[in-house]
Amino acid sequence: MRLVRRGRPATDHRLGWQCASLLLSYPDADSLRMADEMLVHLDGPVAEGLSATAAALRELDPMRAAQLYVDTFDLKRRCTMYLTYWTDGDTRNRGNALLAFAQAYRAAGVEPPARELPDHLPVVLEFAATVDPDGGRRLLTGHRVPIEVLHRALAETASPYASTVAAVLSTLPPVTDAERQRAQRLATAGPPAEAVGLEPFTLTVPPRREET
């Protein structure tokens, strides 16, 4: 999952977003090494949150880290990083919501990733960090509620990934009372449901990971 760089991102949070994208991606030695290299240039709450996740992952052997990732994000719907799942669920609106992400990427001059859905949080973070910081911030800010729901689910299980999602939230405007109440309702009742197709995108949630 790598988007093509274009131009020089212009936000103070871009390095934090890129580091968060690496830490929230399927773990491997290269991703953790690159995240560590970025962390030396960060400080404040963002650095603290990202560093906590990185430190926890460094303590795990590669197989355990991979299993933790799968158990957390692939096997628990409440911890899905597919943002439109929470806003649109299995409804006909979700196809349009996914298409809006893809169109935002194309408007910035890049193609959506071929092997991942465009609303996957690590993809959105990388887009915001390396391609279009303003457009990426709008996507993240417009989906604060799903990110907040994800953070709550991770925090409830004391997941090491919770601090990275908290770091991402700290780069966005705070949620409103109405958004906070909506996040609580979604966490309790789950996303909207409607048994229809999701053209032009189809998936199961959590999605099946491609064999490598």
- What CATH number should be reported for the domain holding residue 22? 1.10.3480
Question: Is the residue at 56 inside a domain?
Answer: yes
**Whole-number Å distance between alpha carbons of 9 and 130:** 6
The pair of structure tokens assigned to 76 is: 């628990």
Question: Is the residue at 208 inside a domain?
Answer: no
Our count of domains for the chain comes to: 1
Question: Is the residue at 207 inside a domain?
Answer: no
Full domain range(s) for residue 169? 11-189
Question: Is the residue at 158 inside a domain?
Answer: yes
The pLDDT value given to residue 195: 47
Q: Is the dihedral of CA 51, 101, 144, 206 positive or negative?
A: negative
Q: pTM of the predicted model, to two decimals?
A: 0.82
Question: Is the residue at 50 inside a domain?
Answer: yes
Question: Is the residue at 53 inside a domain?
Answer: yes
Question: Is the residue at 203 inside a domain?
Answer: no
* Nearest partner of 83 among 121, 26, 136, 135, judged by Cα: 121
* pLDDT tens for the chain, residues 1 to 212: 444 444 333 346 899 999 999 999 999 999 999 999 999 999 889 999 999 999 999 999 999 999 999 999 988 888 999 998 877 776 677 888 899 999 999 999 999 988 899 999 999 999 999 999 999 999 999 999 899 999 999 999 999 999 999 999 999 988 777 777 776 776 666 666 654 444 444 444 444 444 43
- Using N-to-C axis directions, what is the helix angle for 93-107 and 121-130, rounded to 10°? 20
Question: Is the residue at 5 inside a domain?
Answer: no
